[in-house]
A and B are shown apart, each in its own frame.
Chain A
Amino acid sequence: MAETLRVVGDTLPGADMNAPLLEVEDLRVEFRVRRKRIAAVRGASFTLEQGKTLAVVGESGSGKSVTSQAVMGILDTPPGYITGGEIRLHGVDLLKQNEETKRTVRGNHIAIVFQDALSALNPLWSVGFQIGELFRVHRGTSRADARKRAIELLDQVGIPDAKNRVGHYPHQFSGGMRQRVMIAMALALDPEVLIADEPTTALDVTVQAQIMRLLKQIQDERNMGLILITHDLGVVADVADEVAVMYAGEVVEQASIHDAFKRPAHPYTKALLRAIPRVDTVGRELEVIPGLPPNPAALPGGCPFHPRCWAADPEKCSTQEPPNEEVADDHRALCHFAKEVYRDER
């Protein structure tokens, strides 16, 4: 862990080890397509502390993947543009750094694991090559040494017979194994932050559990900050310390996992929790959230959730944007009636 401090200090002058590990403040991302501007992320903020797991939960189109890409700096520009906000790693705003610094941060300090390992890995190069690449490019390691490190990493993530499998190609691995390869690749340079973008969505349930256990184990061992992006609340409950719920490009609720599940302060979160099918609700209809997620190009006025919200005040919620209310310690919600929802009065 002393190593980590040194490396960050080298790459990011002015890094403050006392500041939170990763802070995203008021991030705004828009897509410019054929002269239209579509706001995909409209002021997202969250904080990640070292050694903690933050789950970012939301439906498709809520902006969670775009946020993670923006944090990594791999947003496709064009058509995506970061139009505001700050992304602070140990207090240093990454968005203000030059290209070269941003490049060295990627892979080194912040790493990402993608959803579909088959398409995310280059089919023409062996997994050993793709993992070794990181060492050779960032640390100047020799090819032989890089291969050794790759074998070690494959071993750590639980791939049997790593010595032989290091020369295999992505299509020769099963789905779960491939995901482990991606994790190994992300961990190679001992990053401080690991972003897992829907790491288990493409896997079957038993494999899901294994991968989540692996991630948790790694995080504990290395005291990493883990951002887990998912739409699956069930996965979140086991693993996360904190949760940030995203809707229509905003973080509508951020709280500790316990608080969010027990006392949600935003109608959307509450509805999501109610919608989880439970074994003990025999005979009742499944709860759904009526309607569809909003089209980012045509958001409703005021609070974007109001058309689907049972707690909404027709006038207030359709015209005024909700404030970010603090309902308890480290528990905020973006709602006019956050406190009432928190106290179950609405």
Chain B
Amino acid sequence: MGRYVIRRLLQALLTLFITLFLLHYLTALSVQIRGNPALLFFGGERTPDPAMLAQVERLYGLDNACYDRPGDPCLVPFVERLQKYASGDFGTTLQDNRDVGELLTIYIPNTLRLFIFSTITLVVLAMLLGTWAARHRGKLVDHSVRGTTILIDSVPVFLILLAYVYMMAVPLTNWARGIWGTESFMGQLFRPNYNPDYPWTTIIVPGIIVGTVGLATLTRLVRASQLENIGSDFVRTARAKGLKKARITVVHVVRNSMIPIVTGVGYTFAYALSGAVLTEGIMGIPGMGRMIFQAVQRQETNLVIVGLTVTAVVVILVTLLVDLLYAALDPRIRYD
């Protein structure tokens, strides 16, 4: 087991490194091709004093000559940046000169909260619906579960969000406030936008909505893996042992179905991150997704890299966790 863990850890680190380098290379390329974002500092219109320009460039680590040569991988700035990250220095934004590290402490928890709710929603719904469909295979329940989940997945998530925000949020909020008052849990639950005074409450509904992304796939996975296990030989043995149906379902069927499900959840995690960008934008949640998006728009190179780095680290961590969980669940993997 130990060897497996170490091997996966090393792989994760390698992947992280390559990803960071790729990101760096892409952004370096964009600076080289599209011009120096430091110019933005001066409003873009006027031709700045070369000395001042040089100073700004130095400030943002853009002064290396490699940025003038398209295609140069800019290794020195890469290493420098890694060193700065390791020591917790994430630099400042070009506009407003805000400390990125501080921004991260606000943005990361918000996005994390969004993810927690969306993952919980996704897993719970998929397990319930998938199990239900598997038990009543071939009947109406099975078909309706499939049809409904496919339908939900067919609607782009940002539309569901828009529909919610523009059509349901306000009436629901008013209704809730009428009964429970503005400052109550229910009063804040249905808000069409994020309220920093109630960070957990106002993330619940967007989290649930984002959780529906990938529902059809995961439900299908749950159903298929349960069906496979229900018909398997060891379940037949369990019945031959005279075990109660409930015990067979929990100890043998569900437990054996967990593995593909865990892998499925891990895989949809990366996909859910994409949904975060739009969700945060529409619901006004100050999180990583929105930060990256705005950074791209405003050509905040540094912010983009930091944002995507954090994302990459999170995804790689989750993948690693999933793999370790996989080994914990399936003893056959451990003795690889």
* Contacts from A to B (Cβ < 8 Å): 72, 74, 76, 103-108, 111-112, 114, 116, 119-125, 133-134, 137-138, 169, 171-172, 185
Contact = CB atoms under 8 A, between A and B. Distances in A.
Which of the four size classes fits the interface of chain B? 20 to 34
Nearest to B241: A107
B242 A138 contact: yes
Interface string B305-336: 00000000000000000000000011110010
B255 interface: yes
A125 B329 CA distance: 10
Given A74-B236, A116-B233, A169-B331, A122 B256 contact: yes
Contact of A120 (B233, B251, B329, B332): B233
Contact of A137 (B237, B247, B256, B330): B247
B52 interface: no
30 contacts: A72-B240, A74-B239, A76-B231, A104-B242, A106-B239, A107-B240, A107-B241, A107-B242, A108-B242, A111-B240, A111-B241, A114-B233, A116-B233, A120-B236, A121-B234, A122-B234, A122-B252, A122-B256, A123-B256, A123-B330, A124-B330, A133-B243, A134-B242, A137-B242, A137-B244, A137-B247, A138-B242, A169-B332, A172-B335, A185-B237
B103 interface: no
Interface of B: 231-234, 236-244, 247, 251-252, 255-256, 329-332, 335
B234 A123 contact: yes
B273 to A, nearest CB: 31
B329 A124 contact: yes
Contacts of A74: 236, 239-240
A119 B232 contact: yes
Contacts of A104: 242
B256 A124 contact: yes
Contact of B241 (A76, A125, A134): A134
A137 B332 contact: no
A103 B234 contact: no
A221 to B, nearest CB: 22
Contacts of A107: 240-243
Contacts of A121: 234, 237
